[in-house]
Structure 1
Amino acid sequence: MAVYTRLGAEDIAAIVDAFEVGTLVSAKGIAEGVSNSNWLLETQQGDASRRFILTVYESRTEVAELPFFLDLLDHLAARGCPVPRTMHDRDGASHRLIDTPEGKKALALIEYLPGVSVSEPTVGQARAVGAALAQVHLASADFPMNRANSLDLPAWQQLLGDCGHDGLASIDADLAALVERELPILAARWPQALPQGVIHADLFPDNVLMLGDKVTGLIDFYFACTDLLAYDVAVTHAAWCFSNDGTRFDAELSAALIEGYESVRPLSSDERAALPLLARGAAVRFLSTRAYDWLNTPADALVTPKDPMAFARRLEFYADPANDGIFGA
C-alpha cells in the first residue's frame, strides 16, 4: 500500500474535527497513491453520510504551491467543471500542517466524487474527456494565479542528460539515439506564440473518473501549471489514444478526443498545425521522467517504476510524418 505517512485513528479523527465535516466513521488507505499518502474517509454529519479523500503531501509536493492547486479546484468547481472541491478548516484554510516522525507535512481534505477510472476507454469516453478538458481550459481563463511548468522542455533535457547516453542505452539499445535525435528538434521548433492558460498536464485515464460515458471527476491536479493549451491536448492524446505499452494507436479514440475538445473550444489553425510537434514533446516529457525513475528508483522502493519504452514508442509514432494527419486538417 502506497501510504508513506502513518496516521492513527485518533489523528484522523482530529483532522476531521478541524475541518468540521462531522464525526469519523471509517478511514481506509488508498493503495493507488504514487507521490502522496491518501485515505478514503467516511464521516457522519447529522443524518448524512459523507465521503472525502484525505491527502498527506510527501516530499515531491511543495507546500508553497498548494494554494495554486487547491484554489484551482475550487475555482473550477464553482464554474461547473467536474472536479472535487476542497474542504476548508475552521480557520478557512484549505490545508493544514501536521507533525509526523519525518517532520511537518501538509494535508488537505478533498471532496470524494463517484466514478471509476477506465482501463480500456471507449470512443464515447474519449469524446467526453476531450470536452471536459476544453471546459477546464475555458473555465480557468480568469483564474488569477500562475505556476510555471516544472516539467517543461529544459526539465526534460536535464532529466535525460542525468540519465546519460549509457543509462538510456541500458534501458533499450536504440533509446539514446532516439532521445539525441528528438531533443534538438523540440528545442529548435517548440512554439511560443500559441494560446496559454492553466493546464492539467497529466490527464491520464487514472486521473479521470467516469460513469458510463459521463466524466464525473477530473482529479490529481498536482502537475497543473500555466502553459500552452494545445500542449495539454497533446498530453491527453498521448495518454488516451494508445495501448498502455504504446504499441497500438487507436484512430477512433484519437478522432473522438479531438472532436470532443473542439465541441467546447475549437483549436486555432496554428494550434492544430503544432499538435504533431507538441505530441512529440508530450511523449518526451513522460519518457524523461520514466527513464529517470527507471534508472534511479531503489530496488526496495514501494513504487515500481513505469516502462519508459511505452512513451518511446509513442514518440516514434508521432515523429513519423506519415502520422501528422491524425490531428485533422
Structure 2
Amino acid sequence: MAASTRTWGQARGSSREKAEHPADRPARSSKGRLLARRGRAWGAMEGVRYVRETRGWTLDSAIAPPGQRGFPQGPEPDNTVLPLPSLPQTGVSSPMAVYTEVFDDDLRTFLADYDIGDLRALKGIAEGVENSNYLLLTDRASYILTLYERRVDPADLPYFLGLLRHLSERGLPCPLPVPGRDGEALRTLAGRPAAIVTFLQGAWPRRPDLSHCAQLGEALARLHQAGADYPLSRRNALSVAGWRTLVESTRARADEVMPGLQALLEDELAFLEAHWPQDLPGGVIHADLFPDNVFFLKGTLSGVIDFYFACNDAFAYDLAICLNAWCFEHEREFNFTKARALLNRYQAQRPLTPREIEVLPLLARGAALRFLLTRLYDGLNTPAGALVRPKDPAEYVHKLKFHQAVERAEAYGLDR
C-alpha cells in the first residue's frame, strides 16, 4: 500500500473529515431511552443517562456532581519556536479508546463486589490507545473503570496499582485504586483484568502553555523523588533493548507509510544501541507523561494519570519523553521557551547531574524513536473494524530528525 493511501486515524464508522465518532451521537429507542453503541452495550438501561464523549476524563455538564467539571484552558502565549524539517504528513483524528465493550449483566455482577453506591452511568472515554477506559458514575461519586488490554501484562498490575497508592501517600495527585469488599483492587470483567480508580478533577491542556510546562517539570521531579522507596521493580520493556524487535516486526511494511522510513529506523537504532548510556541516576519513571495524562484545574496541576507504562529506568529518559510530548507545537515546531520552563522547574526540584545534561539530546532521540516505533507497529497491526484509531507515526519522524541535529542540551533551553 502506498503511503498516500494509508489513512492513520480512521476506523469503523469514522472519517477523516468528521472528527466526531458515531458512537458520540446517542440513538433513541421507541420508548425514547438513550442507547449506547450497538444497543446491547452499556447505556441502554432504564434510568441511566447516556454521557456524551468525555474529553480529558471530565464529566458531562448535565450529570457532573458539583465541583467535578473540567475547566477550559487559556490561550497559548506567543513563544519562541524553532522550525522542524518539512516531511510528508498523514491525517489523524482523536481515538475512541474502547477495545472491550461492557454489557449490562456483566457490569452489575462486577460492581456487586464493591461498596461504591448505585450505578448511574457508564461511558467509554475517548482518550488513550492502550486500555479500555470508562467513566463510571454512581450515586456517591465518580470513578474510572479500566479494562487492561494489549501490552499490559497481568503480572505487572500489582506494580502499577501499588505504585498509585505509594505515590498518592507521598503527596503526588494521582488516582487511588478502589478495593472491593474483599480488599482486592484487581478483578476480572468481560474476560479482562479490570480495576476501578478514583476520579480526578480537571482537564488536560489541548495547547500547553508555559505554566503547564513548568508545573509538569516540577511534578515529574516530585514523582521521581517519591518513587525512591517504592519496593517493587519493573524492567522497561520499551527501552533500547526492546526496540530491535519492533524494528524487525515492521521492516517489511515501514516504507508503505513513508518512503525511506525503514532505513531511517535501522540507522537510528544502530546508533542508539552503540551509544545508549547505562550510568544514569534512575528509579521509578512514568514513561508516558503526555499532556492527556496530566490534569489542570483552574490553572493548577491537579492530577497525573495512566501509569501503565511506569517502570524503573533513567530519570533523564523520562524527562526526554516529556520534551517530545510537551514542547512541540501542532505545526511540529520545537518551542524553546516551553522546554526551558519545563527543564528549569524540574531542575529546581531535582538538579540534573552533568552526565544527565550531557546525554539529554541522545535520550530525546531515543524517546522519539520509541514512540515512532510503537505508533508504526500499532498502525500496521490494528485489525480492521477496531474501535481505536492508531496515531500517526510521522509526527515522531519529524521529532527524531529535530533531535538528531541537536548537539548540546543548551539547545533545549536548559540553564546549567
- What is the TM-score when the length of structure 1 is the normalising length? 0.91
Query: Is the CA contact (8 Å cut-off) linking 1:235 and 1:279 kept in structure 2?
Result: yes
Provide structure 1 residue ranges, at least 5 long, that are not aligned to the other structure: none
Q: Which residue of structure 1 lines up, in the alignment, with residue 117 of structure 2?
A: 22
Which residue in 2 is equivalent to 1:156? 243
Q: Secondary structure at the match of 2:313?
A: strand
Counterpart among 279, 283, 286 of residue 200 in structure 1: 286
The aligned residue for residue 58 of structure 2 is none
How far off its partner does 1:72 sit? 0.3
Matches of 2:138 and 2:382, distance apart in 1: 37
Residue identity matched to 1:92: G
2:271 is aligned to: 185
Whether 1:278 and 2:369 are equivalent positions in the alignment is no
Q: How far apart are 1:266 and its partner, in Å? A: 1.0
Cα distance in 2 between the residues matched to 1:151 and 1:251: 27
Question: What CA distance in whole angstroms lies between the structure 1 residues aligned with 2:400 and 2:129?
Answer: 24
Task: Report SS of the residue matched to 2:121.
Answer: strand
1:236 aligns with 2:322: yes
- Counterparts of 1:292 and 1:26, CA distance in 2: 34
> Corresponding residue for 1:260?
345
Q: Deviations over 1:48-77 (max 9, x none)?
A: x31100112224322111100000000000
Query: What is the CA–CA distance in structure 1 between the aligned matches of 2:377 and 2:102, rounded to whole Å?
Result: 31
C-alpha distance in 2 between matches for 1:159 and 1:7 = 31
Q: Is the 1:123–1:252 contact (alpha carbons within 8 Å) kept by the matching residues of 2?
A: yes
Q: Following the alignment from structure 2 to structure 1, what is the Cα–Cα distance between the partners of residues 176 and 114? A: 13
Cα distance change of structure 1 residues 262 and 197 upon mapping to structure 2, 3 Å threshold: same
Which residue of structure 2 aligns with residue 126 of structure 1? 213
Answering whether residue 175 of structure 2 is matched by residue 84 of structure 1, we say yes
8 Å Cα contact 1:151/1:285 also seen in 2: yes
Moved more, 106-115 or 291-300: 291-300
Higher strand share: 1
TM-score (normalizing by structure 2)? 0.73
List per-residue Cα deviations over 1:130-173 (Å, max 9, x = no partner).
11111110000000000011111122121112211x52222222
Equivalent residues in 2 for 1:246-257, closer than 5 Å: 247-257=332-342
In the TM superposition, what is the alpha-carbon distance from 1:33 to its structure 2 partner? 4.4
Amino acid at match of 2:314: L
Q: In structure 1, the residue corresponding to 2:283 is in which secondary structure? A: strand
Deviations 1:23-66 (A, max 9, x none): 2222222232422222211222xxxx311001122243221111
8 Å contact kept, 1:16–1:22: no
Relative contact order, CA 8 A, sep 6+: which one is greater? 2
Distance 2:403 2:318 in 1: 15
SS in 1 for 2:296: strand
Any unmatched runs of 5+ in structure 2?
Answer: 1-95
The answer to whether 1:35 aligns with 2:121 is no
Structure 2 counterpart of 1:314: 399
Identity, % of aligned positions: 45
Q: Does the Cα contact within 8 Å between 1:116 and 1:211 map onto a contact in 2?
A: yes
* CA distance, structure 2, for counterparts of residue 255 and residue 21 of structure 1: 44
What RMSD, in angstroms, separates the aligned Cα atoms of the two structures?
A: 1.7
**Do 1:87 and 1:110's aligned partners in 2 also have CA atoms closer than 8 Å?**
yes
Alpha-carbon offset, residue 325 of structure 1: 2.3
Q: For 1:169 and 1:310, how far apart are their aligned partners in 2?
A: 15
Do structure 1's residue 220 and structure 2's residue 312 form an aligned pair? no
Q: What pairs up with 1:63-82 in 2 under 5 angstroms?
A: 63-82=154-173
Contact 2:127 2:292 in 1 (8 A): no
